[in-house]
Chains A and B, each alone.
Chain A
Amino acid sequence: MNTGNKVITIEVLRYRPEQDTAPVAQEYIVPFTDDMSVLQGLQYIKDELDGTLSFRWSCRMAICGSCGMMIDSVPKLACQTFLRDFYPNTVRVEALAHFPIERDLVIVMDDFMEKLDSIKPYIIPEKPRALSEGEYLQTPAERDLYEQFSSCINCLLCYAACPQYGLNSNFIGPGAMALLHRYNLDNRDSGKEQRMPLVHAEEGVFNCTAVGYCSEVCPKKVDPANAVNINKTESASDYFLRFVTPKGACK
């Protein structure tokens, strides 16, 4: 695996708000081995070449969701993208698309945090359940219904892949919709009625034009496009049938 003294050029789109008016590209030459990830390349830069480079990272194993960035214009987790796949070409690294750049490879993610909050991502039980009543029963099949959508690590790659979010950040977007859908599908939850107004709203699912790239780039195979589009159908049938079946109508 160690193949000696190969070097690769990593081009980082840098932005230091206190000195740059706009992002500028900076190149670094990094020695690498075949098992090195792009994240390890960036860590090498930080440790050995330039301590001023800023980026987020933590777990290194694609579960904490910190190190999402554009790598050769594709949203990816830097920890599970390998330098060997780019060699001998230059790897271009940029902050996740469609978010404001705080600095270098760090984005401002306040907008997503607000959206996550807004979808009520927690079990809203029909009636309170005491601990003494034990666990809810949930068959493996019932669990499978929502399990995929519960695997979202909030890495925001899907938002960086969604041009509709880029064009209009009021759109609730793929990740938050996947989690909304996850709770709606959970047989322990009765909060769907409280969440659907968000789906129906002008900021809701109909901003999606089924580009589908969000699901392509998802590192956890959550398929957020599916969550969004299932809810289009749900929202539309509610729109037309709400006068027939009064429950669930949006005020």
Chain B
Amino acid sequence: MKRSNAPIFWALFGAGGMLSALIGAVLVFITGIAAPSGTFLPREMLSYSNVLAFSQHWAGKGFLFIIIALFLWHSVHRIFHTLHDIGIHAGTGAKLICYGSALTGTLAAAYALLRIG
């Protein structure tokens, strides 16, 4: 019997799922509704200087990286399984596309965050 390497992906899926279940909604609300519309939070919050300061702080940087990476790994894992569920069993191909895009996104996020300085 061949041991499954699924735990790696499953653990990332689970961590992302838990994180998004706990605070995903409030993040969407803050960054996508409350601040941009200026109704619940000041629009100022999203000014270049504010966001830059947040992203340059090690905590803010880490937070953003974890959110982006785990959300991606969570969603691609589900999408991969859903493809299987609806009868698209591309096997290795689908696996590469799904997890490959999550990996690319993770690297891109790391690159961007490092460039911010």
To the question of whether A and B form a pair in one complex, the answer is yes
Binding site for B on A (CB under 8 A): 163, 167, 197-198, 200-204, 206, 209, 232, 235-236, 239-240, 250
Q: Is the CB of B4 within 8 A of A240?
A: no
Please report the C-alpha to C-alpha distance between residue A203 and residue B8 in the assembled complex, in whole angstroms.
16
Residues of chain B within 8 A (CB-CB) of A204 are 4
Q: Is the CB of B7 within 8 A of A209?
A: no
Given contacts A167-B85, A209-B81, contact A198 B1 (CB under 8 A): yes
Given contacts A167-B85, A209-B85, contact A200 B4 (CB under 8 A): yes
Q: Is the CB of B1 within 8 A of A201?
A: yes
Q: Is the CB of A202 within 8 A of B1?
A: yes
18 pairs, CB–CB < 8 Å, chain A vs chain B: A167-B85, A167-B87, A197-B1, A197-B3, A200-B1, A200-B4, A201-B1, A201-B2, A202-B2, A202-B4, A202-B6, A203-B1, A206-B4, A206-B6, A206-B7, A235-B7, A239-B8, A240-B11
Residues of chain B within 8 A (CB-CB) of A197 are 1, 3
Q: Does B57 contact A (CB under 8 A)?
A: no
Q: Does B58 contact A (CB under 8 A)?
A: no
Q: Is the CB of B1 within 8 A of A232?
A: no
Residues of chain B within 8 A (CB-CB) of A201 are 1-4
Binding site for A on B (CB under 8 A): 1-4, 6-8, 10-11, 81, 84-85, 87
In the assembled complex, how far is the CB of residue B20 from the closest CB belonging to chain A, in whole angstroms? Answer: 15
Please report the C-alpha to C-alpha distance between residue A153 and residue B30 in the assembled complex, in whole angstroms.
51
Residues of chain A within 8 A (CB-CB) of B87 are 167
Which residue of A has the minimal Cβ distance to B84? Answer: A167
Please report the C-alpha to C-alpha distance between residue A209 and residue B10 in the assembled complex, in whole angstroms.
10
Please report the C-alpha to C-alpha distance between residue A236 and residue B6 in the assembled complex, in whole angstroms.
8
Which residue of B has the minimal Cβ distance to A249? Answer: B3
Please report the C-alpha to C-alpha distance between residue A232 and residue B85 in the assembled complex, in whole angstroms.
20
Q: Is the CB of B11 within 8 A of A200?
A: no
Q: Is the CB of B10 within 8 A of A206?
A: yes
Residues of chain B within 8 A (CB-CB) of A250 are 3
Residues of chain B within 8 A (CB-CB) of A232 are 10
Which residue of B has the minimal Cβ distance to A197? Answer: B1
In the assembled complex, how far is the CB of residue B34 from the closest CB belonging to chain A, in whole angstroms? Answer: 32
Residues of chain A within 8 A (CB-CB) of B3 are 197, 200-202, 239, 250
Please report the C-alpha to C-alpha distance between residue A105 and residue B19 in the assembled complex, in whole angstroms.
45
Q: Is the CB of B7 within 8 A of A236?
A: yes
Q: Is the CB of B85 within 8 A of A163?
A: yes
Residues of chain A within 8 A (CB-CB) of B1 are 197-198, 200-203
Please report the C-alpha to C-alpha distance between residue A203 and residue B1 in the assembled complex, in whole angstroms.
8
Please report the C-alpha to C-alpha distance between residue A250 and residue B1 in the assembled complex, in whole angstroms.
9
